[in-house]
Structure 1
Amino acid sequence: MTHSSIAVVIPAYNEAQTVADVVRVALLLTPLVIVASDGSTDGTAQVARDAGAQVVELTQNVGKGPALYAGLKAAEGRADYVLMLDADLLGLTPTHLDILLRPVQSGKLDMSIGIFDGGGLMTDLGNKLTPHLSGQRACRLRWLLNVPGLGQERWPEPAITDALKRSGVRWDYVELPQLGQVMKEEKRGFWKGVGYRSRMYADLLGYRRRRKKSEKDGERR
């Protein structure tokens, strides 16, 4: 059974090997599946399109935050709820989507954040050490679109976490059994993957500094 009041938004950068499987599962839930290709050069956009997704193509690789925002804008006015999914998931099933959506649609939570459980040692460990960086989430589309700085940050998760704390909305983690993802070191090779991960964490750690600077600049105006 599909639900048109739900959008699935999948930011993707060079995920041609896995994005189609994620799209096909998402289409079992809703016809509104949007892949935002973040300047991909490996055919991600076409693979996603062939799998049945609507595709937003960014011409340059600008980051997950701008890609996510572009996907959300494409869904604006067409759905009440949004599911965010990573494009490199392994083992995704409709049950996982239900686990994420159910507490939000029932009104128990304003946002659910998915944590891998049993999807592989390294992905489980990484997800549980930094659960606030999970890309698997469900919430109301309008709320997410209004997160300050969402479309400007290369990685959207810190901006979302900050908005959750500031707005006082109800959120919690939910376990996603037997779900994992392809590690960056596997996709890009070990050393390139380590370098990519290091740059990601450096950018994430700089979020608070950029946020404070933005607030000070706003006060001066």
Structure 2
Amino acid sequence: MTRLPIVVVIPTKNEERNIAGTVRSVIDHFEAVVVVDSDSTDATRELAGAEGAEVVPYTWDGKYPKKKQWCLDHVRPDIDWVLFVDGDEAPSPKLLAELRHVFLDGRPVRPAAFDIPLGYWFAGRRLRHGYTIVKRALVDRTRTRFPEPDDLDAPGMGEQEGHYQPLADPVHRLSGTLEHNDLDPVGTWFDRHNRYAQWEAWLECRPEVREQIRTAKTRAGQLFHRAPFKPLVSFAYGYVLKRGFLDGRAGFDYALGLSLYRWQIGVRAREMARLERESGAERPEPGALPR
């Protein structure tokens, strides 16, 4: 089987429950598979190596570039195309077939990046309806770069790029999915979104940085970015308009979880703004180094 001229990059930290299955799903289809691991304390590195992946250690220095851009700069620079796959994801057969059509038919690849929808699993069930997450996961590193907003002081994200897309033009959307099936307990979903909410709330209090990030989102993301009553809009969109109710209890729980995530951002942002007013603390200029 001819391998796709793409390096799969899997950023990880403590993914021992998922990583073996993820590496198995890509190891025979792509030219290279590299796990970029951030000081895991479990067996992530050993399991990834046993499945045939190259393992590269990574420690963030607190500056830009963050982890994914660092991967674009340093991981297998001999291969232009990079597919980012999370440690709990796997390409569907349809996506693999689509990639073979795009990359192995002998014609130049015109897009600089490809958006890929997630096939999302929640609480053990594959969601067929509701809110769809789309990631710009496949990029030509020579024509793509992640933005660098002034959010290094923000809590919640750390080494990860935030909820924005890498900048590229033109971009094409694929129809095959990356199957996102986290085998960790559902509590890890809430823990992760609790961290994300800290970052989002920090942005709400800093409109100038929030605007930098808005411009690096998809069109749908930019529209939702400006929407009022986000918790209600989120639930109505995912559960009613996009028929999340057809996914049964898992569909309801997922739509409600996203709505509560949006609610949590608002509560945190209001508290953060109040505490800043009460303390009289001056907000640093964007890009200023912390003291």
Post-superposition Cα deviations, 1:18-52, rounded to whole Å, max 9, x if no partner, equal 21222123222224111111222111111111111
TM-score (norm 1): 0.68
- Structure 1 runs (4+) greater than 6 angstroms displaced: 212-215
Give the secondary-structure state (helix, strand or coil) at the position aligned to 1:175: coil
In 2: Cα distance, 1:15 partner to 1:118 partner: 18
Call closer, same or farther: CA 1:29–1:77 in 2, change over 3 Å. Answer: same
In 2: Cα distance, 1:101 partner to 1:139 partner: 15
Answer yes or no: is the 8 Å Cα contact 1:117–1:175 preserved in 2: no
In 1: Cα distance, 2:201 partner to 2:129 partner: 20
Answer yes or no: is the 8 Å Cα contact 2:67–2:161 preserved in 1: no
Call closer, same or farther: CA 1:58–1:113 in 2, change over 3 Å. Answer: same
In 2: Cα distance, 1:6 partner to 1:202 partner: 34
2:109 to 107, 118, 121: 107
In 2: Cα distance, 1:37 partner to 1:118 partner: 23
Give the secondary-structure state (helix, strand or coil) at the position aligned to 1:69: helix
Matches for 1:139-158 after TM superposition, within 5 Å: 139-144=139-144, 146-149=145-148, 154-156=159-161, 158=163
Give the secondary-structure state (helix, strand or coil) at the position aligned to 1:138: strand
Answer yes or no: is the 8 Å Cα contact 1:4–1:30 preserved in 2: yes
- Shift of residue 177 of structure 1? 4.9
TM-score (norm 2): 0.54
Post-superposition Cα deviations, 1:71-122, rounded to whole Å, max 9, x if no partner, equal 33343431021111111025x4454234357557753532112113476656
Which deviates more from structure 2 when the two are superposed, residues 197-206 or residues 3-12? 197-206
Structure with max Cα Rg: 2
Identity %: 19
Call closer, same or farther: CA 1:103–1:80 in 2, change over 3 Å. Answer: same
Give the secondary-structure state (helix, strand or coil) at the position aligned to 1:77: coil
Across the aligned residues of Structure 1 and Structure 2, the Cα RMSD in angstroms comes to 3.9
- Shift of residue 159 of structure 1? 4.6
Task: State the partner residue of 2:30.
Answer: 30
1:187 to 181, 184, 188: 184
- Verify: 1:13 aligned to 2:9, yes or no: no
In 1: Cα distance, 2:130 partner to 2:114 partner: 18
Answer yes or no: is the 8 Å Cα contact 1:35–1:71 preserved in 2: no
- Segments of structure 2 that go 5 or more residues without pairing to the other structure are 153-157, 214-282
- Verify: 1:49 aligned to 2:45, yes or no: no
Call closer, same or farther: CA 1:115–1:204 in 2, change over 3 Å. Answer: farther
Call closer, same or farther: CA 1:201–1:118 in 2, change over 3 Å. Answer: closer
Give the secondary-structure state (helix, strand or coil) at the position aligned to 2:198: helix
Task: State the partner residue of 1:96.
Answer: 95
- Matched residue pairs, number? 200
Task: State the partner residue of 1:173.
Answer: 173
- Segments of structure 1 that go 5 or more residues without pairing to the other structure are none
Give the secondary-structure state (helix, strand or coil) at the position aligned to 1:160: coil
